[in-house]
Structure 1
């Protein structure tokens, strides 16, 4: 049967009346196929959208990593901006969106690959859409060229450490001086295999290697700008996206002399902020807090910083603690910062630089702040995960 796509969902699927979900379809398109449940399977585009383009990636049809590569850049930009606008408007809030920052192709410096042995060797890449098969990533247009070149050596590791029944996971981060590689789901290496792994790591610019949560070896201190991230640490996906977020945070902080960084990670925003202000770092993961402190002690030209490991979901900073600061940086995980926001509402904190990876929880927390007297001055949308449905937000709040 034929159906007409009326809109694009938050996961990148086309949606027709019903609703019926159609993978890789665009609004306005007429699509043929068979409906199974709420999904049109094996869709055939009868009338294509003017925004449809030929996907540039050679494995797009089998890889599940990109959901909207078949749409023009201008369409994707408007769609991602619209996701943020819709989340705010659903809460009755104006959406003062200034701009969209889109990271270029081949710029992702952090990725999780899957590896599986085959009869003739191994395959390493990303899972296909809703499938167990893996699409090779050596020609990926999202990750950096250096990371794409690492895929072939990772196939060698998959043969060494993987089994025919299970997959091996490779968390790869490209740093300034090499790769940080954390492997999971692998066979425990023998002492001889460990020595061989270190030779492999040296040959492939892997400066830190962990297997199943255990550090196997480290050739050098991994660095990324002022950061000294621990193994597997969360980092912004692209240098471009990180720079856009940092510029937004800096703009909001202005001339603040004392800053608190909530959900600080290993110091992505707090270390740059310390160039102009005293900063108190609060993070729930002890290893990340320690990494931020070490980076500060080894850094130059930074103001005074203090560090606190604290679960902000269970024990947020209370209003009296927040009142000591001129501004706050807040970058919570996808669940948002509901408990911490409740304390901010009753504080005298004048400025908030907010970063979020979830428009829905951002809008929820923004609504609470605005009802408490804060102004949402502006919102920037940051697209680090090109061609995916993911979107990030940087925003500025203030009150007199």
Structure 2
């Protein structure tokens, strides 16, 4: 009887202890799930903040690059004006040289004219001195002293010729003086105008040179700013990758805590992300960046050229951990295949993402469509494989 009571007591003791342990386990599991969910919420908020900062950086980078393009166009216009102004200066210099030569030739002509004027003046002065020495004789006395009609007429003709000769000398002197003075004034005016034009164009060229220097300095400063923003964008991309990794780990912990089995892929044996073989247009590794022109820029994946809108297929089964815009990657999908293996699909066209974060996808399932968003020069798929967040050569996984 005592033995029976002992087993009954032992049974109830075990029942109570087992029940307590079960409730403790369940309670711990609930607490762990709550903790993981809280961390996930915080992480998602941080991802959203990083996403907004990344978009702001990209917009700023786009604005800076546009300003660089505008400034380069302005610099080109300034240099074209400088070239045109330089040609005008050369033209005015040639005109100045030509006018200076004309002025020298006119000076020679002026000396010859002045010589003729002096000769005429000497002739007139000689006649005046003769008249003064011999006494003033009127034209009437000369005519009245004629011996005959024919002598009178002869003297009259001589007097008329003498008067006309004197008149021509005076008129020629005045005409020569006026002509030379007019030509000299005209050449002086043109020469002054040419000198003024040369001075003005040289000042314009100096101003344009100053503008050229200012534009060059501005382009240099903007280029440095562009590089700095690009570096920030790259850091933000890496931050998003790191946060996505943390999110993937937390999701896995939540799955384990809730004892929910998820189907993951092979972790490395992937299929081609298209239903046909499109060419690889840029391989994994170092290259010249197609947009920035940076030498020895490391390409973290491969570029596969395909028409816009072409269906992109999941290279392997797994869980979607990113399905959103990611800075230079543009619209991006990242799939976690388990065992630390991810695949990344970038430059997806607008409204081309066909899966959502947290969705389970199967190998060969359509997840997106080819586009050219983000830092892209044309329609293609940028495909990456990452192992423990480090980029690997995708070709070795396909």
TM over 0.5: no
Q: Which has the higher helix share?
A: 2
Task: Indicate the structure (1 or 2) with the bigger Cα radius of gyration.
Answer: 2
* Higher RCO, Cα 8 Å, sep 6+: 2
Q: Which has the higher strand share?
A: 1
